[in-house]
Amino acid sequence: MGRILFFVVAAVAVFIAVLLFLPGLIPVSAFKGRIETAASNAVGRDVTISDNLSFRIFPRTAFHVEELQIANADGFEGPYLIRVDEADIGVKLFPLLSESVEIDRFVLVRPDIRLRRNQNGDVNWNLASAETPEADAPEDEAQSAGAAPRDLKLGDVRIVEGAASYEDAAAGASYAAEDINMSLVLKSLAEPLEAEGDMVFQGSPANVDIVLTSLASILEKEPSDLKLDLTIGETVAGADLTLNMADGVRYSGPVTFEAPDLPAFAALAGTELAEAPGFDRLSVKGDIDGGDTALRLENAEIVFDDVAAQGVMSLDWAGARPNATGVLSADTLDLRPYMPPPSDSAEGFPAWSEAKMDFTSLRNIDAQFDISTNSIFVNDLEFGESRIKLTIDAGRMTAEIPELSMYGGQGSGRMVVNARGATPSFAGNFDVGSVQAQPLTEDLMKHDNLLGLGSFKFNFEAAGDSQAAIMRSIDGSGGFDLADGALKGVNIAGIVRAVSEFQTGFNPAALQRAVSEARGPSQQTDFSEFLSDFTITNGLVDAPTINLTGPYLTMTGAGNVNLAQQTIDIRLQPRGATTIDGEGGRTISIPVRVGGTFSKPTIGIDAESLARTGLQRTLGDVLNRNRGGDDENGDGEAQNDDPASTILKGILGGQNRENQTPQDENADQENSGQENAEPEASTEDALINEGLNAIFGNRKKPAAQEETAEETPEP
């Protein structure tokens, strides 16, 4: 029994000695040429190693080599395709004892992989490009010629702290990866190639998982399936493709792509997006069919920023800028991220912003899209079901809108934004009909004072890098025609009717009260038609003709609106009647002036027009009667007192109505009781009543006033 134990121990000792001393007994340098030949045959390229070569059996049989290099393909710059600082090459032991080398494992430490594509589209990594021996040549002859093997068996391949670069001379693109740690498995060309690992790609951390069903098919330019899961930074992509290298790179199949930080991903892909609003995120899902410089996506589901669309699109990145085309439909087209932010004004119409607007993102891509949508948002404006033909060409965007739905109406339009130069320019024309005026003006002008159904036309051109600059430069023309509506906040017909009721004398306080009562949220001026044409020059809107027709009222007018300063100056001449159609009753005309600002518009009797159109003449007659015609001083010069101003102060309570504030109106109402008290009789009162009664068509003087006039000494 002891002898048996002794022999077992001795056998173990001999085996250990073999493991320890056998590597030293094998002349490693003798195998260098054979290793280079076997490796060259395995990859189809010349493989060289340095003289620093060692061999071990434990724990796995392997050669350790340094400065391993795989030669580059002919016609490409650079001496190598791959260079490895250190490599452990696993070999099978028993074939090695018979002077045969079978490689089943590569461990590559700090490899440098240089992939290149030339102007002709040829690549330097096609390992099947080596010349094969004649079919009838002896096998040893073929191997000695360095021909590509019938099969490639790499077994377990690992890359440690590697680097890789790709340069495409045809596309002018280059990419680089560092700190590559990957494992690859390729048991044979006919079996799947599996690759999994992590790296730093273009400065961002990345993870990749690839399964290629047959590398042999790729090398023979036959289709093969590729499954890809890729993460680069925050970008995630997945694909289940059919890959074909027969005529360049072709791929097809379902894909998903999610880039929550689009500018960061574009930088990874070699495209720098301009700093501008929008272009923040992109999500794509669909069936892809493409090549190395272009692709087509069908059954596409695309989310770009806040816009979700479906349809078909194509992308070509062979030129200086990517070019996208497609036919898409979207439930909502939200353009607010690309527009200047709205003012944070708490109330009223906001002031034009001086903040710089940046449209340089239009230079990032060229595009031609036909887009259908159920709604469009442009800041506070909302449009309904519409169709847009969008073209972007080198920073100039043109949006043809053959179908435009807005605020209940239908029409068409065209909008151009040109960001090619240092200062963006704009142009457009819109023609819509059957539009509900109230919601439109509420969204556009921040008030709901205009009601009605009508048509609008507007053509404009402008330039500027801010809202304020655009408003200062805008030129154009347009017009509107509204029907069956109203002007909220004032009853112009009521003002005129109140004046017409003064039959036995004029009472300034009564008129002031009538004007005040005719203004307010519950008041409105109804009309059957309201129309005007206008022109715009450097932000100044000139409306030479304004016409309004309604029950008990017709009105003409003219004026201007300063868009840059947001001020209004419109003079109206309403003519009121005591009958609804103006026939057979009494009519009277009172000039009205609309002023103020977009935020605080005002309306009142136009004192200047009232004086200019006959008041002074009428007062002159009255003054001549009551003052004996002495309307001049001894020097023949006019008196300093302006009777028109005196009378208008009585009408308007001491101030011009167009400048009156809501607080002033409240004060008027609070003081109305005091104003109704019978004033002391005076010659001035007589002059006021006489003049205004003459204007309003009633020249009969109240007896009390006549007696007062007679008793009052001439001033």
- Lookup: tokens for 533: 């044409």
Q: Is the pTM of this model over 0.85?
A: no
Closest Cα partner for 485 from 445, 514, 454, 519? 454
**Whole-angstrom distance, CA of residue 214 vs CA of residue 220:** 10
47-69 residue pLDDT tens: 888 888 777 666 667 777 888 88
User: Which of 200-209, 485-494, 498-507 comes out lowest in average pLDDT?
Assistant: 498-507
pLDDT score for 396: 95
Structure tokens at 18: 């073999």
Peptide bond into 59 cis (omega under 30): yes
Q: Where are the alpha helices (DSSP H) in 660-702?
A: 662-675, 683-695
What is the 3-state composition of the chain as percent helix, strand, coil, each rounded to the nearest 5? 25, 45, 30
Averaged pLDDT, 584-606: 82
Query: Does the pLDDT at position 681 exceed 80?
Result: no
pLDDT top residue among 30 and 525: 525
Q: What is the pLDDT of residues 576-594, one digit of tens each?
A: 776 766 676 677 777 888 9
Spatial separation of the C-alpha atoms in residues 703 and 263, rounded to whole Å: 87
Is it the case that residue 325 has pLDDT exceeding 90? yes
Could you read off the pLDDT of 563-580 as tens digits, one per residue?
999 999 999 888 877 676
Give the tens place of pLDDT for each residue, 125-170.
876 544 444 434 444 444 444 444 445 666 678 889 999 999 888 7
Residue 472: in which H helix or E strand, if any?
A: helix 467-473
What's residue 378's pLDDT? Answer: 82
Amino acid at 550: G
pLDDT at 511: 67
Q: What is the pLDDT of residue 699?
A: 41
pLDDT surpasses 70 at 630 = no
Task: Tell me if 558 sits within 8 A of 546, measured CB to CB.
Answer: yes
What is the per-residue burial (b if ≥16 Cβ within 10 Å, else e) of 673-710? eebeeeeebebbbbbbbbbbbbbbebeebeeebeebbe
Query: Among candidates 322, 327, 321, 323, which has minimal Cα distance to 302?
Result: 327
Start-end of H helices in 206-270: 215-219, 262-268
Query: What distance in Å separates the CA atoms of residue 243 and residue 143, rounded to the nearest whole number?
Result: 31
> What pLDDT was estimated at residue 379?
77
